Every structure is written in C-alpha cells, then in structure tokens.
Amino acid sequence: MGLDEVGKCVAPGHSGEWNSLYFILGVILMPVALPFVLMKYFYRLRIKRYRNELAEKVVLITGASSGLGESLAHTFYKAGCKIIIAARRIEELERVKKDLLALDVGTVTFPPVIIPLDLAELKDIPIFAQKALDVHNQIDILINNGGISVRATALSSAVDVDLKLMVVNYFGSVALTKAILPSMLKRKNGHICFISSVQGKFALPYRSAYSASKHALQAFSDSLRSEVANKGVHVTCISPGYIRTQLSMNALTASGETYGKMDKTTSSGMRPEKVANRILHAILCKEKDIMISDLQAKFAYYARYIWPSFYFWIIEKRALRLEREEVAEQKKEK
C-alpha cells in the first residue's frame, strides 16, 4: 500500500483506474445532470427576483393561530411582507406574533398585525374586512386558510355539524373574499388564495361534510378565477394532502364535540413549513390550481377520473376498514 498526493492510503495502480472510472462516469452523466443544475440555478434566480417583488406586500392570513396558517405567517413575514394574522384564539395569535418578532431574518420586516376573526360569524366578516383594509389601506394577498374538519359518517353526522363545516370552510372564505375583492378590483391588482384539500378533488369516507365544503371551495375559486382574469386579480386554489398539524385534534365528531385525537395519517403528514413554502412559490408564480401531496393522493385523484370503478372499489374497502377500526375502538372503551 502507498500514499497518494493527498496522503490517503491506496493500493498500487488503483488510483489511475478510479480516475478513469470517474472521468467516464462524468462524461456519461454530464449531459443528464447539467440541465438539472442549470434549471435549479435559474429557478433560484427567479424565486429571488419574485421575492423582491413580494417585499412590502400586504398579506392577510386567516387561521393563522396554528398549523399551516402559522407556518404561512412565518414564510411571508420572512419574505418581507406586511402580514395581518387572523383567527379566533387571540392568545395564540399573540404567541405567533411574539415568535415572529423574535426572528432574525436578516431582511427588512414589519410588525405583524392581529385582528380577531370567527369565520362562523358571517355577519361580522364585512366589519373585519374593513378593519384589515384600514391597517395599510389595501390587501395585496388574501390567503383563505381558516377551516375545520370532521370525523364521522354521513349518516351519523348531525345536520348542524354539516352546516358548521360549510359555513366555516366555505361561506366564511367566500364572505371574506367578497368583502376584500372590490378593493382589489378598484386597484386592478391582487391575489386571492384558497386553501382547499385533496379531498376537495376526491372524497373520502368519514369526511363527507369536510369534502363537500372543500369541493364547494374548489368550484367557487374556479368560477371566480375566470371572472377576474382580465381585471388584474389572480386566484390560486391549493389542495394539500395530509399535513402535520392539529387539524384532526380540533375536528368535530358526529355530535359536534371535539374529536381530540391525532390521526396516524396526520401525524405522518407533510411538514407545514414545506407546504407553506410551496404555497409561497405558487403565489409568486401565479399558479392557478395545484396539489401538494404524496403519490398516493395523486394516484387517487387521477384514478377517480381515469379508472373510476377501481377508485370506488378502493374507497369502499377503506370505508369498511375504518368501520371495523371504529367498532374495535368502541369495544375497548367499554
């Protein structure tokens, strides 16, 4: 054994062989790797330019007291936006604001503004919207993120539960959008983002009210997008898969009580920070409709339309499995 030029122990004659192998691999892989390297470089340049355009934009985020909304607040705050955070839980909004002000992001930032909002109180939404507009005299980006979920069968769910989900997830976002939209149309500039769900594209068992509300949100955003396309206002609909948040913990049961359990699918879901960054990119690039999910959700989405019989078979099997798990859990509790 001997030492090569950097002092590493090598077998005699092997150094030249490895160098030749690296050269051959480099020649073969370079045409494949180079386009990806260039794409990544130009992607970063584009995002940097877009982020400069985003600086000082006024961003209103609902449901910002936790989960994805909180991550969105961090993401847009670090991008130099003037953010307004809204939710029911004032103490949690204060915590989010404190966390944001403690960040050292190395760029110019603006103190977040807190305005309480209960999306279930539709009559109060126009008043809330005016308060939000009065802060900086405009809203550049509205992110309709606030919402709740459910864990119950369609049959067992009280109609009041169905109604509450539809009011919070759909009518609340619609009412706020209608209250903010005129100011955007007047300025001929603005962006409205709806946080839907993959379940707004295909429904799952035990989520009938939730899926219905997200289906409605998807349809509303599609219609609105076409109506304001030539008026300077952009509309983006985001359909995420499972995200590692407290959504299942805060979900409602059939009777309207808090579910209070962390689902396995939720606990193993995507990091909210990752989803928030993807949403920022979607808004920067003015994307119209995107899914942020794993391959399983994307497979289900395409199967629903390409091979519906297979999709329905899968969903029926899922419903049976969930039913068995529910029965087993009820026996345990007894």
What are the residue numbers of the active site? 210
- The C-alpha atoms of residue 131 and residue 140 are separated, in whole angstroms, by 15
- The C-alpha atoms of residue 241 and residue 271 are separated, in whole angstroms, by 11
How is 140-161 classified by DSSP, letter by letter? SEEEE-----B-B-TTTS-HHH
- The C-alpha atoms of residue 286 and residue 192 are separated, in whole angstroms, by 10
How is 74-130 classified by DSSP, letter by letter? HHHHHTT-EEEEEES-HHHHHHHHHHHHT---SS-----EEEE--TT-GGGHHHHHH
- The C-alpha atoms of residue 45 and residue 182 are separated, in whole angstroms, by 34
Dihedrals phi, psi of 260, to nearest 5 degrees: 70, 25
- The C-alpha atoms of residue 323 and residue 236 are separated, in whole angstroms, by 36
3-state DSSP: the chain helix, strand, coil percent, rounded to 5?
Answer: 55, 15, 30
Dihedrals phi, psi of 195, to nearest 5 degrees: -95, 100
Dihedrals phi, psi of 88, to nearest 5 degrees: -80, -40
- The C-alpha atoms of residue 149 and residue 245 are separated, in whole angstroms, by 12
Rg of the chain over CA atoms, in angstroms? 24
